[in-house]
């Protein structure tokens, strides 16, 4: 890992000159004024309070965040060569710090990348000899990070200069090969550009045709990867067409393929399928009549801006406010882009781990809040651990979780890069089951200590009131009031389970009266626990549309030994006659079904009846409906 701020690691460059160089790089990326001011003061020795007084809180925060990265980098540089294990651990520490710096404010990481590039410029311009490991780490970590964030302007220059330090002879050889054919290549490029401009203008396409820069490191990588020599490469003859919209991209591509012979296997449509870092463009390789192949890239001006500046091009500090990267998102597109970039950084960390052979040293994962904030957690952490990491009160009130948009049990083990959304109730506390190690709800010491503290405070309060009630006594699901007064039904703990949470207040909704094994879902109410609905319930569908974040996964508990009965409404239509109600009652009596409510109405000789009965399952319900249809005059018997 490159270390570049400590004086003995600047390779003789004046620290203030270095800071000004970093500022120029950030200006070329068109970053905001606070970033550029922070770059100018990178060599400042003022403490945080003095910086805030002189430069303001925002700029001071960037400088202090950058110093954290600097300290970790210096630690690596000072590791003795024979202490490889300690060096790898130090590299892991730097990766963590960079990841968390990104979580706080992306601009800290951009300051770091610009500083790395400035040091490379100084080293190569002064022909200073460096350790090969220093240059290799820049390729593996820093340039890879610029690539993940889509900042090609930094990526290409960092790669070329680091490769020049790492393999100066090979770099010089490729540079000489490029220069030896320069006149011939320039003539060819001029001819192709003239033909492209003529054809595009004739088609009415407004375009900017450019000769694409040749990057020595990418040329070397393709020579190595495809085992071909320099003469066979088409990258040295490359063109870029910039147009106004996507429609013109494909129109321009059609013109290119009409004028020259395309090589199908070399075509890539990154507009329809963008790269993970957001890069979009059409890539094609074509061949002229003399067999000379060359590459053409077609993209819009906006795509080109994204390709050159990546994440820096879309960083809106006015929207982010004081919260940095996790601040308020004003547009869904911007929100999606930020989430994607956060995931790219986590993916970069995984790539860097592999390069540094330090993956076994890391015991942490990194997950995202719905607003893109990166949260570090230890391996094996669950959604409840995540909730407590965000805020203690959120942990206490946690009742469900969505991971990447899907509901999951609360004992789910989280993975790198996942987006976690916590579903919480307005008021409430944790479950004692969370402290049961065998249940696996908690993996972090912080979460366990917070849960223990909550119950300790509850116990102290109860002892102060001289109450002998047990702590966290399970609350049984509530049935509707009319059933509690009149029925024989008994509610047993475990009839309904909220996935991932035990001993939680639940109540069967009256609107649809679910019965095992109906497909059910829970809705977190305000102050009345979780209301259980059938998934086909019209009321539940309205609740789901209005507040999807309050829907939790539920399932029926173990029914093998349960004697619970559940209320259900059924509707009957029949030809009205004397003795009809008596005959229907005899069916209920014969089937030993308890009736807790009856509503009847007769109009024009047609009887409409509604019964609330108690059954153990839908099998019993179906048996009852079949028997009722056999009663003389009954034309319809159905569940409401």
Task: Give residues with Cβ within 8 angstroms of 487, minimum separation 6.
Answer: 479, 565, 567, 594, 596, 614
**Contact (Cβ atoms closer than 8 angstroms) between residue 577 and residue 560:** no
User: Of all helices (H) and strands (E), which one includes residue 634?
Assistant: strand 634-639
| C-beta of residue 620 within 8 angstroms of C-beta of residue 594 | no
Distance CA 499, CA 497 (A): 6
Q: 287 with 260: CB under 8 angstroms?
A: yes
Report the greatest alpha carbon distance in the chain.
Answer: 110
Burial label for 69, CB within 10 Å (0-12, 13-18, 19+), is buried
pLDDT at 231: 55
* Residues linked to residue 603 through DSSP beta bridges, in sequence order: 606
Provide the pLDDT for residue 517: 83
Helices marked H in 276-331 — which ranges?
A: 301-309, 317-320
In this prediction, residue 454 carries a pLDDT of: 86
- Kindly list the distances between the CA atom of residue 216 and the CA atoms of 221, 224, 458, in Å, as whole numbers in the listed order: 9, 12, 67
Going from the C-alpha of 269 to that of each of 183, 259, 275, 302, the distances in angstroms are: 32, 19, 10, 16
Evaluate whether 19 touches 43 at the Cβ level (below 8 Å). Answer: yes
d(CA 181, CA 186): 9
Could you give the count of Cα atoms lying within 13 Å of 277 in the half-sphere of its Cβ? 24
393 to 381, 424, 425, 586: CA distances (angstroms)? 18, 10, 11, 55
439/411 Cα distance (integer angstroms)? 8
Question: CATH second-level architecture of 177-312?
Answer: 2-Layer Sandwich (3.30)
Consecutive 10-residue averages of pLDDT for the chain (640 residues)? 44 90 91 91 90 93 83 59 50 58 72 92 90 84 81 89 91 80 80 94 93 78 64 68 94 94 91 85 92 91 83 45 38 54 62 53 72 80 94 90 87 87 84 85 92 81 46 35 38 53 68 86 75 88 82 75 81 90 88 86 88 86 90 90
**Sequence ranges of the domains in the chain:** 7-157, 177-312, 363-464, 481-556, 566-639
CB 594 within 8 A of CB 565: yes
Q: Pick the closest to residue 447 from 504, 363, 391, 371 (CA basis).
A: 391
Long-range contacts of 272-276 (CB under 8 A, 24+ apart): 275/150, 276/148, 276/340, 276/343, 276/344, 276/347
Give the separation between CA 489 and CA 494, rounded to whole angstroms. Answer: 15
Question: CA–CA separation, 40 vs 24, rounded Å?
Answer: 9
- Rounded CA separation 327/156 (Å): 31
CATH class of 7-157: mainly alpha
Cβ-defined contacts of 361-366 (< 8 Å, 24+): 361/88, 361/89, 361/92, 362/92, 362/96, 364/96, 365/414, 365/415, 365/416, 366/99, 366/416, 366/417
**Any idea which residue has 């401009």 for tokens?**
197
Q: Rounded to whole angstroms, how far apart are CA atoms 212 and 166?
A: 25
Q: How far apart are CA 117 and CA 155, in angstroms?
A: 9
β-pair partners for 364 = 378
* Range 566-639: architecture per CATH: 2-Layer Sandwich (3.30)
Strand partners, 532: 508, 522
pLDDT for residue 358:
46
pLDDT number for residue 570: 92
| Of residues 72, 150, 591, 100, the one with CA closest to residue 374 | 100
Handedness of CA 513, 515, 519, 524 (dihedral sign): positive
The yes/no answer on whether domain 363-464 falls in CATH 3.40.50.970 is no
Quote the CA–CA distance of 199 and 496 in Å, as a whole number: 70
- What token pair was written down for 4? 């570049």
The Cα 51–Cα 541 span in angstroms is: 55
């Amino acid at each position: 890992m490159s270390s570049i701020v400590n004086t003995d690691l600047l390779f003789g460059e004046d620290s203030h000159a270095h800071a000004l160089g970093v500022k120029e790089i950030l200006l070329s990326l068109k970053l905001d004024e606070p970033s550029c001011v922070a770059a100018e003061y990178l060599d400042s020795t003022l403490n945080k309070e003095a910086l805030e007084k002189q430069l303001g809180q925002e700029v001071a925060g960037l400088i202090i965040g950058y110093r954290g990265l600097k300290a970790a980098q210096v630690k690596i540089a000072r590791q003795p060569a024979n202490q490889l294990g300690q060096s790898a651990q130090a590299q892991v520490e730097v990766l963590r710090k960079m990841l968390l710096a990104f979580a706080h404010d992306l601009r800290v990481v951009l300051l770091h990348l610009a500083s790395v590039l400035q040091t490379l410029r100084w080293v190569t311009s002064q022909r200073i000899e460096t350790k090969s490991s220093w240059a290799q780490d820049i390729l593996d970590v820093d340039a890879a990070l610029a690539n993940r964030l889509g900042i090609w302007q930094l990526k290409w220059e960092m790669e070329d200069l680091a490769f020049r330090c790492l393999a100066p002879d090979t770099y010089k050889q490729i540079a000489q090969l490029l220069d030896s054919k320069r006149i011939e290549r320039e003539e060819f490029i001029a001819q192709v550009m003239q033909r492209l401009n003529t054809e595009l203008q004739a088609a009415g396409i407004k375009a900017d045709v450019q000769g694409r820069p040749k990057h020595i490191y990418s040329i070397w990588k393709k020579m190595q990867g495809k085992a071909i020599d320099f003469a066979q490469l088409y990258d040295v003859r490359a063109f870029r067409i910039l147009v106004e919209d996507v429609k013109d991209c494909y129109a321009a591509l059609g013109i290119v393929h009409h004028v020259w012979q395309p090589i199908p296997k070399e075509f890539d449509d990154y507009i329809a399928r963008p790269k993970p870092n957001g890069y979009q463009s059409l890539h094609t390789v074509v061949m002229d009549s003399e067999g000379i192949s060359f590459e053409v890239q077609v993209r819009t001006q906006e795509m080109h801006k994204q390709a050159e500046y990546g994440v820096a091009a879309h960083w809106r500090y006015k929207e982010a406010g004081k919260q940095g990267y996790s601040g308020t998102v004003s547009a869904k597109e911007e929100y999606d882009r930020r989430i994607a970039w956060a995931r790219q950084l986590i993916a970069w960390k995984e790539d860097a781990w592999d390069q540094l052979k330090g993956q076994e040293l890391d015991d942490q994962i990194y997950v995202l809040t719905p607003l893109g904030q990166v949260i570090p957690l230890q391996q094996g952490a669950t959604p409840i651990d995540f909730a407590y990491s965000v805020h203690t009160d959120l942990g206490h009130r946690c009742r469900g979780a969505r991971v990447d948009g899907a509901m999951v049990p609360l004992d789910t083990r989280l993975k790198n890069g996942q987006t976690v959304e916590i579903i919480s109730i307005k008021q409430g506390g944790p479950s004692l089951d969370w402290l049961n190690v065998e249940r696996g709800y908690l993996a972090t010491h912080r979460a366990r200590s917070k849960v223990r503290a909550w119950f300790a405070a509850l116990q102290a309060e109860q002892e102060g009131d001289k109450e002998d009630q047990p702590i966290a006594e399970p609350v049984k699901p509530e049935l509707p009031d009319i059933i509690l007064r009149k029925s024989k039904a008994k509610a047993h703990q475990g009839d309904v389970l909220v996935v991932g949470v035990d001993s939680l207040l639940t109540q069967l909704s009256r609107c649809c009266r679910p019965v095992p094994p109906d497909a059910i879902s829970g809705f977190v109410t305000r102050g009345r626990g979780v209301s259980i609905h059938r998934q086909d319930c019209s009321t539940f569908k309205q609740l789901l549309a209005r507040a999807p974040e309050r829907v939790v996964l539920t399932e029926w508990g173990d029914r093998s030994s349960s004697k619970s009965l559940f209320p259900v409404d059924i509707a009957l239509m029949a030809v009205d006659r004397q003795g009809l109600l008596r005959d229907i009652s005899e069916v209920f009596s014969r089937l030993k079904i308890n009736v807790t409510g009856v509503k009847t109405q007769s109009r024009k000789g047609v009887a409409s009846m509604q019964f609330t009965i108690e059954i153990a399952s839908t099998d019993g319900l179906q048996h009852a409906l079949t028997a009722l249809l056999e009663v003389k005059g009954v034309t319809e018997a159905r569940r409401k």
